[in-house]
Chain A
């Protein structure tokens, strides 16, 4: 029932010096026209040409620009182009507009060179580092008076953040810790069994979980789960000017939005780590019992001998530092969002990547430090 719109046509009659334009010279009509035809030029003709548009059914600005380009290229060859008498009504207006618009164009600025880009990048990174430092400064400035007068802390918000970042993360962290414990026991157990040293599974599982796996795993899950959501939330609030609205109400966004989150995560992350410790050991215990004939009661009996209290504390002490890293990066990236939806997406990605990266780096630093002090 629908006809394909008539396409544009371009042809010439060299003897009479006519360029024949027919059909719809519109964006749809030209779309069906192939590109090579659009760039085709008639042969040289020193007397010039007449543009015959009598067969043209419709013309729009896209079409007019193509006619204009044809005219420009012919004139560049030194050939005159006249307009035929019979032509669409709008043609003169459209061509006049096109001509004027093109003549008003300024040359485009050139793309920056390699050196310029390196320079801009360096300055950009330095500025970002500076911004991060001032961000930390602002948080400290807001946090200190609150901590000195604990009754001014926003307890309600703190509780809500603890609920969201901590309680609601229990299932996923529990499951992951349990599975990791399971895997460690399974992998280590086979080797130990060969030497008849099944009983050392207790050391293997508890020390790995408490010292390394539980804190690291918890921090990584929280960085992905909570960090990304905070960055996105703050970023969106920045775009919708909610952050500015808070400022105009005399409420510091650092105080209202960031401080409760910071405190919440510092409280929650160590607790989640202990929780992951327990579930990881339970997972390992299960495998030790079922696969390697180490009964549960024996496992539990041996636990206090196997692990010094320092193993537990070494793991837990890392958690608040990880929390600082995650909150710092998430909120910093969220507050840096500017303008567009894409910027929110970028902030979220950067948060997760940087937070996980820095958590692992910090963990490595901790290992070295603990080694130095002999823990």
Chain B
């Protein structure tokens, strides 16, 4: 049984990523424990997106090993990869909802693909996931172009949760939201984590979200992970890169509270 073989939901070891002569990651290591909410921060160009895409198996790294939910992904067969993907959910920054489908159809799509349930059951489960993400049910038949930014994020979250993943990736979940919606989204993530026992990996620049939701935060810089600490400790880390990141006027207020 996969649950017992490792306490790590994600283990990245010796990751190397290069684009031409530009080395993005050099011997990068990161471990995310099961059931924790891990934040992923770093300046622009520090390779957060590439790391995320590597973990999502969307980008093949040059070297290194990525293990997801106890499964090494280096030489994964197509069927195994598919099975692994069912256990992961992703919320993309722009939502990436399928524009030609309504919200409910977006959420139903993975259920139609992967489960043998009948239409009524799938409809019922899709509605449940939509409610879980805090998306208003009476708007479930709208198309993505008819939604506000906060609603898009919730709809996309509902789709990410469609197959009850064990591992949830969030790419800038609160970017572009007003402070009230962003705060509500933080609460939602915390609630989901508690209810479903999810492991969450969250790339974010949002200090409020880091303080409100994460258990530990990994700081990317200098082509590797410089530190993995709870946010209150990380903000006082004396590494020059980390210090300058959290010393900026927008983030310092948080550190000095």
| A residues with CB within 8 A of B | 2-3, 5-6, 26-28, 30-31, 34-35, 38, 57-58, 60-62, 65, 69, 90, 93-94, 97-98, 101-102, 104-106, 338-343
| Interface-located stretch among B114-122, B213-221, B236-244 | B114-122
B115 close to A61 (CB less than 8 A): no
A342 and B138 CA atoms in complex are apart in Å by: 23
B196 close to A27 (CB less than 8 A): no
Give A301 Cβ to nearest chain B Cβ, in Å.
61
Which DSSP category, helix, strand, loop or mixed, fits chain B's interface? Answer: helix
Give B188 Cβ to nearest chain A Cβ, in Å.
13
B144 close to A340 (CB less than 8 A): yes
Query: Which residues of chain B in 1-23 are interfacial with respect to chain A, using CB atoms and an 8 Å cutoff?
Result: 1-3
Determine the chain B residues whose CB is within 8 A of the CB of A69 once the complex forms: 124
A35 close to B196 (CB less than 8 A): no
Q: Check A98/B128 contact, CB under 8 A, given A31-B116, A339-B143, A339-B144.
A: yes
Pairs of residues from A and B, 8 with the lowest C-beta to C-beta distance, nearest first: A339-B145, A340-B99, A342-B100, A60-B164, A101-B131, A31-B115, A27-B164, A27-B163
Q: Check A26/B164 contact, CB under 8 A, given A90-B197, A340-B99.
A: yes
A27 and B110 CA atoms in complex are apart in Å by: 11
B195 close to A35 (CB less than 8 A): no
Closest to A102 in B: B128
Give A230 Cβ to nearest chain B Cβ, in Å.
21
Give A39 Cβ to nearest chain B Cβ, in Å.
9
A28 close to B128 (CB less than 8 A): no
A106 close to B137 (CB less than 8 A): yes
- A to B CB contacts below 8 Å, 6 in the list: A5-B2, A27-B111, A28-B83, A93-B194, A101-B131, A340-B99
B196 close to A90 (CB less than 8 A): yes
Determine the chain B residues whose CB is within 8 A of the CB of A57 once the complex forms: 1
Interface hub of A57, A61, A98 (most chain B Cβ within 10 A): A61
Interface membership of B146, Cβ < 8 A: yes
Q: Check A61/B114 contact, CB under 8 A, given A93-B195, A339-B145.
A: no
Partner of B132, one of A38, A90, A101: A101
Q: Check A338/B145 contact, CB under 8 A, given A27-B164, A57-B1.
A: yes
Interface membership of B125, Cβ < 8 A: yes
Determine the chain A residues whose CB is within 8 A of the CB of B71 once the complex forms: 2
Determine the chain B residues whose CB is within 8 A of the CB of A342 once the complex forms: 99-100
Interface membership of B80, Cβ < 8 A: yes
Q: Check A58/B3 contact, CB under 8 A, given A2-B80, A27-B163.
A: yes
Determine the chain A residues whose CB is within 8 A of the CB of B124 once the complex forms: 65, 69
Partner of B143, one of A6, A94, A340: A340
Query: Which residues of chain B in 73-118 are interfacial with respect to chain A, using CB atoms and an 8 Å cutoff?
Result: 80, 83, 86-87, 99-100, 111, 114-118
A65 close to B116 (CB less than 8 A): no
Interface membership of B200, Cβ < 8 A: no
Q: Check A28/B86 contact, CB under 8 A, given A61-B164, A90-B196, A105-B127.
A: yes
B195 close to A97 (CB less than 8 A): yes
Closest to B3 in A: A58
Determine the chain A residues whose CB is within 8 A of the CB of B87 once the complex forms: 28
A30 close to B146 (CB less than 8 A): no
Determine the chain B residues whose CB is within 8 A of the CB of A340 once the complex forms: 99-100, 143-145
B1 close to A6 (CB less than 8 A): yes
Interface membership of B48, Cβ < 8 A: no
Determine the chain B residues whose CB is within 8 A of the CB of A106 once the complex forms: 137-138
Interface membership of B205, Cβ < 8 A: no
Determine the chain B residues whose CB is within 8 A of the CB of A339 once the complex forms: 99, 143-146
A61 close to B132 (CB less than 8 A): yes
B137 close to A105 (CB less than 8 A): yes
Closest to B166 in A: A60
Partner of A341, one of B99, B132, B146, B164: B99
Give B10 Cβ to nearest chain A Cβ, in Å.
18
Interface membership of B159, Cβ < 8 A: no
A94 and B164 CA atoms in complex are apart in Å by: 12
Give A265 Cβ to nearest chain B Cβ, in Å.
30
Query: Which residues of chain B in 223-251 are interfacial with respect to chain A, using CB atoms and an 8 Å cutoff?
Result: none
Query: Which residues of chain B in 125-139 are interfacial with respect to chain A, using CB atoms and an 8 Å cutoff?
Result: 125, 127-129, 131-132, 137-138
Closest to A32 in B: B116
B125 close to A62 (CB less than 8 A): yes
Determine the chain A residues whose CB is within 8 A of the CB of B131 once the complex forms: 101, 104-105
Partner of A60, one of B111, B116, B144, B196: B196
A101 close to B114 (CB less than 8 A): no
Closest to A100 in B: B131
Determine the chain A residues whose CB is within 8 A of the CB of B83 once the complex forms: 2, 28
Determine the chain B residues whose CB is within 8 A of the CB of A61 once the complex forms: 128-129, 132, 161, 164, 196
Q: Check A27/B114 contact, CB under 8 A, given A3-B1, A93-B195.
A: yes
Q: Check A35/B118 contact, CB under 8 A, given A65-B124, A101-B128, A341-B100.
A: yes
A69 and B87 CA atoms in complex are apart in Å by: 24
Give B100 Cβ to nearest chain A Cβ, in Å.
3
A62 close to B164 (CB less than 8 A): yes
A340 and B96 CA atoms in complex are apart in Å by: 12
Closest to B147 in A: A339
A106 and B139 CA atoms in complex are apart in Å by: 12
